[in-house]
Homo-oligomer: A and B are copies of this chain.
Amino acid sequence: MTGRPVVAVLEGATPVRGLERVAEVAEVRVAQAAGLPGALDGADILYLWDYFSGALPAAWHAAGSLRWLHVAAAGVDKLLFPGLVASDVVVTNAHGIFDQPMAEYVLGAMLHAAKGFGPLRDSQREARWAWREGRNIAGSRALVVGTGSIGRHTARLLRAVGVRVEGAGRVALEHDDDFGRVHAAADLARVVPGFDWVVLVAPLTPSTENMMDAEAIGAMKPSAVLINVGRGRLVDEAALTGRLRAGTLAGAVLDTFAVEPLPPENPLWSLPTVLVTPHMASNADSWLDDLAAQFERNFLLWVEGLPLPGVVDKALGYVPSGRPPG
């Protein structure tokens, strides 16, 4: 390396954290979206602290010297525009940071549905003592769709409380340490009838978009619950809404939607068997500090020329889990 590396930081509304050690080694340029082209000019590294920003394509012309881009998020579906995919720029994401909060959210979502906390809270608002039985989740069967870091952590947590877990991913596997069996996601409509819970933690890619299509939604058991912490566009929302409205599917817990924020007129808001949460499953406790510490760690690796963790396969659209198929 010649001279100090240049780190461009796209900040957004939340002030960026934890760049003190980076600034000892590098020139750090913190910019908002309008200043991104200027910050990118001559930059080696782009750090997308504002992980949902769509500002990069319009500033891409200025990124000629860019070698590494780190995004403080798990999903990179909004990030991977053709110019970035075609380039040699290495992309890393916030691999691992969201495993624990998202796995806990999924477990909480299952218990919320199993114990009927939604309807019970609705009764509470009317000061109505409306006794109802719950269900146990131990012994029930969950299909975790998505075999990356978050899916694996979720599978392990669910197994720890006695849930019988299997997985679904790009490639079917007869045996996997975390999932036992992994089904091919292409077969979802044939697989979901065997499960009480269908949990979507998959990335959004051309292959996964609409993977829970009308046929797969239609194949779920009437007593089953869909949990989506991946991306809204994994699901045919109209088909899902139809079954929930008809009362032929027990419920859904949804943290992500085709359009966010979920528009006020969307019927999912008002379905009593649905819990709508505002894309917060991944955000808990020290997540902002954890993101900051992760970038600092990665930066120090990069400076030493060492391999970076969490490198996105730009053709696949996610960080491969690193488990061999078979």
Where the two chains meet, the residues of A that have a C-beta atom closer than 8 Å to any C-beta of B are: 100-101, 104-105, 107-108, 111-112, 114-118, 120-125, 127-138, 157, 160-161, 260-262, 264-266, 269-270, 275-281, 283-285, 287
Cross-interface CB contact of A133 among B120, B131, B283, cutoff 8 Å: B283
Report the separation of the CA atoms of residues A100 and B112 in the bound assembly, to the nearest whole angstrom. Answer: 16
Given A101-B134, A115-B284, 16 additional A-B pairs, CB 8 A: A104-B115, A104-B137, A105-B134, A107-B161, A108-B117, A111-B112, A112-B112, A124-B276, A127-B262, A127-B266, A129-B260, A129-B261, A132-B278, A134-B280, A135-B285, A136-B285
Q: B124, A121: Cβ atoms under 8 Å?
A: no
Please give, as numbers and ranges, the residues of chain B lying within 8 Å of A260 by CB-CB distance. 129
Cross-interface CB contact of A275 among B124, B275, B284, cutoff 8 Å: B124
Q: A279, B131: Cβ atoms under 8 Å?
A: yes
Cross-interface CB contact of A120 among B124, B160, B277, B284, cutoff 8 Å: B277
Q: A269, B124: Cβ atoms under 8 Å?
A: yes
Q: B100, A108: Cβ atoms under 8 Å?
A: no
Please give, as numbers and ranges, the residues of chain B lying within 8 Å of A278 by CB-CB distance. 120, 123, 129-132
Please give, as numbers and ranges, the residues of chain B lying within 8 Å of A283 by CB-CB distance. 133-134
Please give, as numbers and ranges, the residues of chain B lying within 8 Å of A122 by CB-CB distance. 121
Copies of this chain assembled into the complex? 2
Q: A104, B138: Cβ atoms under 8 Å?
A: yes
16 A-B pairs whose Cβ atoms sit less than 8 Å apart in the complex: A104-B111, A104-B114, A104-B137, A104-B161, A111-B111, A112-B117, A115-B281, A117-B117, A124-B276, A127-B264, A127-B270, A128-B264, A129-B262, A133-B280, A133-B284, A161-B161
Report the separation of the CA atoms of residues A77 and B283 in the bound assembly, to the nearest whole angstrom. Answer: 43
Closest to A121 in B: B121
Please give, as numbers and ranges, the residues of chain B lying within 8 Å of A117 by CB-CB distance. 108, 112, 117, 275, 277
Please give, as numbers and ranges, the residues of chain B lying within 8 Å of A284 by CB-CB distance. 114-115, 133-136
Please give, as numbers and ranges, the residues of chain B lying within 8 Å of A264 by CB-CB distance. 127-128
Q: A105, B115: Cβ atoms under 8 Å?
A: yes
Report the separation of the CA atoms of residues A65 and B275 in the bound assembly, to the nearest whole angstrom. Answer: 55
Please give, as numbers and ranges, the residues of chain B lying within 8 Å of A276 by CB-CB distance. 120, 124
Q: B120, A121: Cβ atoms under 8 Å?
A: no
Report the separation of the CA atoms of residues A111 and B115 in the bound assembly, to the nearest whole angstrom. Answer: 12
Q: A118, B121: Cβ atoms under 8 Å?
A: yes
Report the separation of the CA atoms of residues A293 and B215 in the bound assembly, to the nearest whole angstrom. Answer: 41
Closest to A123 in B: B278
Please give, as numbers and ranges, the residues of chain B lying within 8 Å of A261 by CB-CB distance. 129
